[in-house]
Amino acid sequence: MIGRIQEKKLLQSLIEEEEAQFVAVFGRRRIGKTYLVRESFNYNFTFQHTGVSNNSIRTNRQKQAQLDKFRESLAEAGYQTGKKLSSWNEAFNALKEVIKRSPEKKKVIFIDELSWMDTRGSEMVSALESFWNGWVSARKEKDVILIVCASATYWMVNNIVNAKGGLHNRLTGQIFLKPFTLKECEEYVVSKNIILNRHQILQCYMVMGGVPYYWSLLKKGKSLSQNIDDLFFSQSAPLKNEYDNLYKALFDRPEQYIKIIEALSSVNKGISRDEIIRITAIPGSGSLTRKLDELENCGFIRKYIPYGYKSRNCLYQLIDNFTLFYFKFLRGNPSDDNFWSTQSSSPRIKAWSGLAFERICLEHTAQIKAALGIAGVHTEVNAWQCSADPDKGVMGSQIDLLIARKDQIINVCEMKYSDTGYVVDSAFDSSLRRKISDFKIKTETKYSIHPVLVTTYAVGNSSYASNLQAVITADDLFS
């Protein structure tokens, strides 16, 4: 297994615990949650079950369809109910029988896609509460390990992790599974004997992010461009419809979520809640706040407060690599089986690459801090922007990555993608000086400002490069 060292260690340690264990595993679709759990327990479970996607089930049959599928899983575990299940209380009572009949020292119960089982009016969560609080916890044997999993991160957070009712504080562990880092993606392609250099892995990450399933579809013996064409642009491309499937799998009514995503995709920087309301025409109610929180929990957007501002000035930015790639190159574009192979050097893709590289840097701030030698220093990673103010000599600036340190230094990071070594010229130097000047005037900071360049390769020789306090390269992002 690539990566997931601490997560696998946590799951395997459950076998040695003396008390019953209740663990939630969550994270976006295709991130490898199910694989992690199955590998950690060597595919040995007393009982395992996966909820059914409700997109293919008529609304008035969803509850019964889920119960029927649960009954099949009970039968696979060696227990026949003898009749149809009519409620989740009946379903979990049958699961009790499976556990009582099991000869295994530890009874490992794995329920995947739990959120799909929570259909309207099903009372599944209350039945789960009763099963855990009234039976598992009360067992003298203390031998049950219950692992629940779902891609609907917002549902898991609201109903299990931060539950307000009977499941409040009942979890003994939780795993929020994150995308692969660049280093883990490199380890993955090496393990599959796919030959890509680091620059190509960086380009692939721009398209797919760190979603393991997408990387699993790469074929050895093909160039990166050929692989991208096969995965996204060919007639039978397996990820051609991934965008629609992605949001439909997570949200029962995805229309307004998609509207928010579309609004955020139309700008490169973060925008305010009021701007989202104006663009989408979605009312500015608590429902919008919940949807924004859900999209953030699923890892599609980020919410941040620009340096020096209050929480009411928070901004929202679309950061999911695949979604941004979809809007830029897949949505509404005519079909072209060889699009990426023929256009990969075009100005359009080069411009997109610069923005995509900035997102990768934001996802790898831990690696940037390590390269700066401040991994152990308390920091606040942020962004900042201001409008022009001629009276104060402020020209208007945007800083996408700003690291404010406890040791009274602020690293202002400028991110530049290049196919070759980036040359620090007078235009770059002037632009960075202007941003730093605007920042000092508007924030009146007393901290020292250290300009940093984050780029793909080592910079070429230039007198202007000496004004930088540090240069971070793509190799550092792979640490």
CB atoms within 10 A of CB 420: 9
Q: How far apart are CA 255 and CA 120, in angstroms?
A: 19
Q: How far apart are CA 51 and CA 23, in angstroms?
A: 17
What's the whole-number average pLDDT of the chain? 94
Q: For the chain, how long is the longest CA-to-CA vector?
A: 82
Instruction: Report the pLDDT value the prediction gives residue 253, as an integer from 0 to 100.
Output: 82
Q: Is 66 exposed, middle or buried (0-12, 13-18, 19+ CB in 10 A)?
A: buried
Instruction: Report the pLDDT value the prediction gives residue 396, as an integer from 0 to 100.
Output: 94
The residue type at 398: Q
Among the residue ranges 110-119, 294-303, 366-375, the one predicted with the least confidence is: 294-303
Calculate mean pLDDT across residues 369-392. 94
**Interval 38-65: pLDDT, tens:** 999 999 999 999 999 877 677 778 999 9
pLDDT of 206 > 90? The answer is yes
Tokens 């690696």 — which residue?
Answer: 367
pLDDT of 252 > 90? The answer is no
**Residue from 292, 317, 294 nearest 304 by CA:** 317
Contact 11, 191 (CB under 8 A): no
Cα–chain center distance at 218: 20
Percent residues over pLDDT 70 in the chain: 100
pLDDT of 334 > 70? The answer is no
Contact 147, 114 (CB under 8 A): no
What's the length of the chain? 479
Identify any residues that bridge with 109 across adjacent strands, giving them in sequence order: 47, 146
Q: Give me 236's structure tokens.
A: 């039978």
Torsion of CA 14, 16, 21, 24, to 10 degrees: -10
CB atoms within 10 A of CB 215: 22
The three-state secondary structure class of 280 is helix
CA atoms within 13 A on the CB side of 321: 24
Calculate mean pLDDT across residues 293-309. 89
CB atoms within 10 A of CB 169: 7
**Interval 61-87: pLDDT, tens:** 899 999 999 999 999 999 998 889 999
Contact 14, 23 (CB under 8 A): yes
